[in-house]
Structure 1
Amino acid sequence: MSNIILEVKDLKQHFKINRKFTVKAVNGVSFEIQAGKTFGLVGESGSGKSTIGRSIIRLYNPTGGEVLFNGENISGKLNSTQNTLLRTKMQMIFQDPMACLNPRKKVLDAVAEGLDIHKLYSTSSERNEKVYNILERVGLSKEHANRYPHQFSGGQRQRVGIARALIMDPDLIIADEAISALDVSIQAQVVNLMKKIQSETNTSFLFIAHDLSMVKYISDYIGVLHLGHIVEMGSTEEIFKNPIHPYTKSLLSAIPSPNPKMEQKRTSITYDYNSSGIDYSKGSKKLIDGTHFVLATDQELDEWAN
């Protein structure tokens, strides 16, 4: 258990719209992330992926459940020690690299903001040197530090966002659709950069995305999310080679093939929850193989197996 850096237990995030209606964006999600590993969270838009990331890092206050980070419960009211741990050792890379950067701040000040808040330097020259070093690490140069966000391309801005997260030397980085706004060639560069950083620093990643091909490349484990429930979870190899849940099968069938002949033969599997007869609230986690879990009743599991 000492290798587990993040443990999410029955996390719930509900949003009350009015007296009669509450949106259950996340409804009983549980998973673990090991030190130095990447957990990929995939699902369609609106499934609750970003909400989970924001609840873990406490941009939202969780409605229910527990979040344990480095052995500390960070899901309730935080004391000063827990707050410092959360704000320094857990960082987030946001989806829109332009919206998350202050247009009036130079990159030097944007990246150093965490250092300023937590007083993690002795002199201004030490502060600047830390920023220059981290910019070079993510493929930018010292000269970029005095530019403003609008002077960068999308890929460069995302690198600034990664640098801002890395400068705090975090144990866990939540990458919330960090590559979805980028061109395909730039996506590959950013993902390779994240893999390189992980191998050098042993940082863990919660990689939130809807691009399964990219998730397959970067993730050690995958959780498939639908309507606020993790319907299937396992190692990357297990999920791609032996998908059990109909929703997982439909996601995998939608991945386009680069081979034109294979693409002509590919048939997408449709999945509609309302007409499927599946009730997530009645299902329970069924162990398939090792760490491969599926949310289902015994009867549903028998049907899918056949």
Structure 2
Amino acid sequence: MAPANEDGSHESRCLRFKEIDWNAPLELADVKTKGDVGDVVLKMDNLKKYYEVAASALFSSGEKKVVKANETLSFEARESETLAIVGESGCGKSTFAKVLMGLETATEGTITLGNKQIQDIPIEDRDTQTVADVQMVFQNPFDTLNPSMTVGRQIVRALEIFKVGNNEAERWQRMLELLDLVKLPRAFATRMPRQLSGGQKQRVGIARAFAGDAKIVVADEPVSALDVSVQAAVTDLLMEIQREHKTTLLFISHDLSIVRYLSDRVMVMYLGHVVELGSTDQVFSPPTTPTPRRCSRPSPSPTPRCKKAHRA
């Protein structure tokens, strides 16, 4: 520690603090602009997803019960639009994403992608173009990569599935371009996932999601497992890629500060229903449903004057 002022009351571990120009004017950071919103590319109409669960034979005579994960879920998403989906845990956000991805099939209702209804088609029965058009960026970047394959090989594998490129050389070149897209050095193509940080792994996940030039990307809490500084970088990266490729982004999140910064419209879910849907400014000022109102409250400030009673 070195004294930072004349009387020595302020100390600093920084050895170069005297080189800081404290009178330098503040510079405004680059402001990310959003692309123009286009036509409707995705429409959900009265989507329902129910699960049958076995009840207790002791208390319910063994009768099956129904859990309603999604109930009358209706909305539209447009080209180049960011639609944020917010709500409490268990409100059905991830369930609707699974149905959209084809990991689950709908109980009732319709999902129209372009001119095609896909609500009853599981992912294994979907054609290659449909699979490529709807991709997902997952919450935990540590579990989404194969630990035994290099970064480049995992992206090339996605290109093979999406039938991008005529040969291995073309797919390898496309993989390097995707690394450029997510601002990772091309040398990372030969690295293993264990050699990457969390933010770098999430960038690889984004590159893989855009390998087939996806029309719709579902981002399910994509930055919640990352540090705050990395969250900002990944969020800006998503906005930049979306603007360049005119991708529709469905952004599932609990962090309303990111939602307010990123989204064009916000859909609030509660118990499987859509309880509020509108532009970001409309939903946030003022919130008319409990979820955004509760989540937007400031955290209670600590009270340093409060002294705890110590036990003898």
TM-score in terms of structure 2 length: 0.78
For 1:42 and 1:79, the matched residues in 2 are separated by 25
Deviation of 1:31 (Å): 0.8
1:125/1:212 CA distance change after superposition, 3 Å = same
Q: Secondary structure at 1:205's aligned position in 2?
A: strand
- The aligned residue for residue 7 of structure 1 is 43
The CA RMSD over aligned residues, in Å, is 2.2
- The aligned residue for residue 112 of structure 1 is 156
Provide Cα deviations, 1:35-71, integer angstroms capped at 9, x if missing partner. 0000000112222111111111111111111101112
Q: What does residue range 82-101 of structure 1 map to in structure 2 within 5 Å? A: 83-101=127-145
Asked if residue 27 in structure 1 is aligned to residue 63 in structure 2, the reply is no
For 1:83 and 1:116, the matched residues in 2 are separated by 14
- The aligned residue for residue 235 of structure 2 is 191
Q: Secondary structure at 1:17's aligned position in 2?
A: strand
Asked if residue 172 in structure 1 is aligned to residue 216 in structure 2, the reply is yes
Aligned match for 1:60, one of 104, 116, 129:
104
Question: Which has the larger helix fraction?
Answer: 1
List gaps (5 residues or longer) in structure 2: 1-37, 55-62, 304-312
Asked if residue 241 in structure 1 is aligned to residue 282 in structure 2, the reply is no
Provide Cα deviations, 1:205-261, integer angstroms capped at 9, x if missing partner. 0000010110111100001111111111110000011322234322322x549xx7x
Provide Cα deviations, 1:131-186, integer angstroms capped at 9, x if missing partner. 01101110111110111111111000000000001111111110011111111110
- The aligned residue for residue 146 of structure 1 is 190
For 1:80 and 1:177, the matched residues in 2 are separated by 25
TM-score in terms of structure 1 length: 0.79
- The aligned residue for residue 81 of structure 2 is 37
1:6 maps to amino acid: L
List gaps (5 residues or longer) in structure 1: 265-306
Q: What does residue range 63-74 of structure 1 map to in structure 2 within 5 Å? A: 63-74=107-118
1:213/1:80 CA distance change after superposition, 3 Å = closer
Q: What does residue range 224-303 of structure 1 map to in structure 2 within 5 Å? A: 224-253=268-297, 255-256=298-299
Q: Secondary structure at 1:112's aligned position in 2?
A: helix
TM superposition outliers: structure 1 runs of 4+ over 6 Å: 78-81
- The aligned residue for residue 181 of structure 1 is 225
Aligned pairs, number:
259
1:162 maps to amino acid: I
Deviation of 1:117 (Å): 1.7
Q: Secondary structure at 1:189's aligned position in 2?
A: helix
- The aligned residue for residue 28 of structure 2 is none
1:59 maps to amino acid: L
For 1:189 and 1:164, the matched residues in 2 are separated by 18
Deviation of 1:81 (Å): 10
For 1:247 and 1:118, the matched residues in 2 are separated by 39
- The aligned residue for residue 294 of structure 1 is none
Deviation of 1:82 (Å): 5.8
Percent identity of the aligned residues?
A: 38
For 1:129 and 1:179, the matched residues in 2 are separated by 28
CA contact (8 A) 1:58 1:75 kept: yes
